[in-house]
Structure 1
Amino acid sequence: MNVSVDVAIIGAGPSGAVAAALLRKGGHSVLVLERQHFPRFSIGESLLPQSMAYLEEAGMLQDVVEAGFQYKNGAQFVHRERAAAFDFRDKHSDGWGTTFQVERAVFDDLLIRRAAKQGAEVRFGHAVLDMKTGDAPVLEVADEAGARYQVHARFVLDASGFGRVLPRLLNLEAPTRLPTRAAIFTHVRDGIAPETHDRNKITVAVHPEHGDVWYWMIPLANGRSSVGCVAQAAFLDVPEAEREAKLRALIRCEPTLNRLIGDAPFLMPVRHIGGYSANVERLHGPGYALLGNAGEFLDPVFSSGVTIAFRSAHLAVQTLKRHLNGETVDWHAHYDAPLRRGIDTFRAFVENWYTGKLQDIIFSRDQTPVIRRMISAVLAGYAWDETNPYVVDPVRRLNALHEVCKQQN
């Protein structure tokens, strides 16, 4: 059963699927190893417009557009009586201003099936148990029957997401600067009439009393919505049997969500995820690179996860093609550092959200259109566009803008 392949990819989620498709376009043999079977549930249903360019590059855009997902053109934020909406078509950066809100079980399955049609071999129910790093990496793999075999590859990409296969096997994990947070969430039958609410935008609501507690409501197709609450882990620490009551009570105490879905029936048990923020010392090593959430995950507040996953696949494959062609490649300069620049932009926005500074900016009354379009571009996923001052120097720029907003308000 031993296999030899140009590139082995661990994980069939969005980054793995896009990387596989891009490598196949370059004529490389690809084997994708996925522990689970698809379709399978995953969180992270609200895409950012930046993602569309990577789907197009991978030859997957038509499949996504024709799948019937809920159209998305922006985000709306609410806190008590305050409200602000951003239309992602009105932004500083060039590129897509619209995208979709997706059921990830369907979306992820669609992407990996397209990669398979493009020639990638995909093995579901196969788990990576160990790895020998180096110029000729070797993976130890087991199928569901327990049969073991080896995969000899010229390179390995870890796209295992929250499974974080190589960070665990190779002891790569590093502390994250972000506090330990958790989320509880479900899907609801929302029954929201289009004329009463803009289904084309994700809603991010701030808890009436706790500024560091927030909710998402993501309208999906067919009258469903994803709804959840994010807070410090202790705030949501209740027994599993009490999660439904906890989430229902939290929804009812937020005026906008209570009006829209206060009594909407839950369509699945309330789920919990905690300690999801993660980091690693480096995003590459001898014979491997880490993609998407396998490397670093920040926070779900700005829906950056899939965009970072796609960006990492794009950058890694650009670098890997040169490596496979025999060039000497500086993975730090061409992959790690460029990817982290955008992640650091998102991190600055996340950290300023939780301190309340970004909330003050978003809800400020007098907004300069030019600066508003710069903020909108980052919220739309264009965190690598260095024509945007809030990408080049996000910490200083956000601090200065917050001072101005404080004086105006």
Structure 2
Amino acid sequence: MSKQEVCDVVIIGAGPSGAIAASILVQAGWNTVVLERETFPRFSIGESLLPHCMEFVKKAGMLDAVNENATKLGFQFKNGAAFFRDGARSEFDFEDKFSEGPGTTFQVKRAAFDKVLADQAAKYGADIRYQHRVDNVVTTEDSATLTVTGPELSYELKAKFVLDASGFGRVLPRLLDLEVPSDLFPRKAIFTHYKDNIAKDAPFDRNKILITVHPQIEDLWYWLIPFSDGTCSLGVVARPECFNDTQSLEDQLRAFINQDTNLASLLSEAEVLQPARMIGGYSANVKSLYGPSYALLGNAGEFLDPVFSSGVTIAMRSAVSAAELVTRQLKGEKIDWQKEYAEPLQKGINVFKTFVTSWYDTSFQNVIFFQSEGAEIKPMITSILAGYAWDEKNPFVKDAHRGIRMLTKLCAD
């Protein structure tokens, strides 16, 4: 092991939250090292961004880079979400929302998108080290020391603060024994990319993610995320017992597609571009989102469910908030991480969680497919679907549980 290196901030993971946090920190003047286990580009899901994400991309100084690369990388303009259930359709236009802020975004291939963000952070001065794995960490009130294995050697890296942006890798929760079980029901997802070959006159809007509910199994659903180059991401999410371990993942995915007439028609000519993958046990939680000289960002802290594409939004928001707080702390301010970071972030997470839970018990599904165009209510729901789960001017954010109960009663009446 070589001699110990020293920097101001270490970030574990170069995905969206890590790249955004690094960009903000280096622009504030802090010597920031990003340790990334993989080599970019690398595959990842979480491809349907929400409009609220664009505020954080802009704050990190990355919006121009994303816009300039969108066309050549197949990023698809996105202005809303479409839902389908057993013949019923419902659409939400994100520009017709209650909350202020962007109303459009992109559906992205994460391998390319994440590399754009990481490259931009590096241009600002972040020291991004690929194929560097964190094996151990020791934190005190004023520093963190990480044991790191790189391609050629192992070394220690000491910093004044460490941010965990490792996503599903959940490095600090594992090393510091922070993990606790999620209270969400365990589910699995099978997914892949297709050349979709969807006919231009088909009843399908490429500017929107399509979320389809299985015609018989109400808590089984599909995502169809189109990209601008004629390809798409397709996945199915269900309880573990709904899957058949005797079949290949590709055969299971195609069988699920064929069980819905609309999806089967849309994807009748689809060509598989890569082997199907499965993830399970992704819903997770932790004892605390922060501790002495560290904080957890995005999925490293709490991940809910892919149904409303909230993961990247939560990750980006946590990155901006934590980076700004770290800057203040390193300048000598006393930061209350509970009141200034954990509690505000958790408010929006809890809003998403309420709607995720009500999606699976079908009460929010019934709201989605309720055909009355409530002039006042629909924009408020649209705001949450667009990611604005922290806007407490929205009654359905301020008291999400009461809002769901009210909406459920309205639909029943």
Same fold (TM over 0.5): yes
Deviation at 1:262, TM superposition (A): 3.1
In the other structure, the counterpart of 2:62 is: 60
Q: Equivalences for 1:292-371 in 2 at 5 Å?
A: 292-371=298-377
**CA distance in 1 between partners of 2:133 and 2:81 (Å):** 38
Give aligned-pair identity as a percent: 52
Out of 283-292 and 392-401, give the one that drifted further.
392-401
For residue 328 of structure 1, report the CA deviation from its aligned partner.
1.1
- Residue deviations 1:103-125 (CA, integer Å, cap 9, x gap): 00000011001000000000000
- Residue 378 of structure 1: aligned partner: 384
Distance in 2, Cα, partners of 1:346 & 1:367? 22
Which stretch of structure 1 is more off in the superposition, 41-50 or 257-266?
A: 257-266
Against the structure 1 CA distance between its residues 137 and 237, is the aligned structure 2 distance closer, same or farther, given a 3 Å change threshold?
farther
Structure 2 Cα separation of the partners of residues 231 and 263 of structure 1: 25
**Residue 253 of structure 2: aligned partner:** 247
Alpha-carbon distance in 1 for matches of 2:411, 2:363: 9
- Which ranges in structure 2 are unaligned for 5 or more consecutive residues? none
In structure 2, C-alpha distance between the alignment counterparts of 1:391 and 1:8, rounded to whole Å? 34
Of 194, 199, 204, 2:206 maps to 199
Cross-structure match for 2:91: 85
1:369 partner SS: coil
Aligned residue in 1 for 2:235:
228
Match of 2:221 among 214, 221, 236: 214
2:267 aligns with: 261
SS of 1:16's equivalent?
helix
Does the aligned pair in 1 maintain the 2:198–2:269 contact within 8 Å? no
State the shift of 1:340 in Å. 0.4
Supply the distance in 1 between the matched residues of 2:332 and 2:199 (Cα, whole angstroms): 57
CA deviation vs aligned residue, 1:66-85 (integer Å, no higher than 9, x gap): 21211000000000111100
CA distance in 2, matches of 1:108, 1:306: 11
Question: Which ranges of structure 1 fall in alignment gaps of 5 or more residues?
Answer: none
Deviations 1:83-134 (A, max 9, x none): 1000000000011000000000000011001000000000000000000111
Partner of 1:166: 172
Distance 1:138 1:56 in 2: 32
The runs of at least 4 aligned residues of structure 1 exceeding 4 Å deviation read none
Aligned AA (1:234): E
Q: CA deviation at 1:193?
A: 3.6
- Among candidates 17, 20, 23, match of residue 19 of structure 2: 17
Q: Is the 8 A contact 1:183 1:236 kept in 2?
A: no
Q: Which amino acid aligns with 1:42?
A: S
Distance 1:237 1:389 in 2: 42
RMSD of aligned alpha carbons: 1.0
- Contact 2:92/2:382 (<8 A) preserved: yes
TM-score (norm. length: structure 1): 0.98
Deviation of 1:221 after TM superposition, in Å, equals: 2.3
Q: 1-side partners of 2:272 and 2:159: how far apart?
A: 45
Deviations 1:303-344 (A, max 9, x none): 011100100001111211111111111000000000000000
Equivalent-residue separation in structure 1 for 2:380 and 2:17 (angstroms):
27
Q: Is the 8 A contact 2:98 2:383 kept in 1?
A: yes
Q: Residue 222 of structure 1 aligns to a residue in which SS?
A: coil
Q: Deviations over 1:230-259 (max 9, x none)?
A: 0011212424x5211111011011122111
CA contact (8 A) 1:47 1:102 kept: yes
> For 1:42 and 1:214, how far apart are their aligned partners in 2?
20
Deviations 1:39-77 (A, max 9, x none): 000011100000001001101001111212110000000
Change (3 A) 1:74 1:379: same
Query: What's the secondary structure of 2:364's corresponding residue?
Result: helix
The corresponding residue for 1:141 is 148
Q: What TM-score results when the alignment is normalised by the length of structure 2? A: 0.97
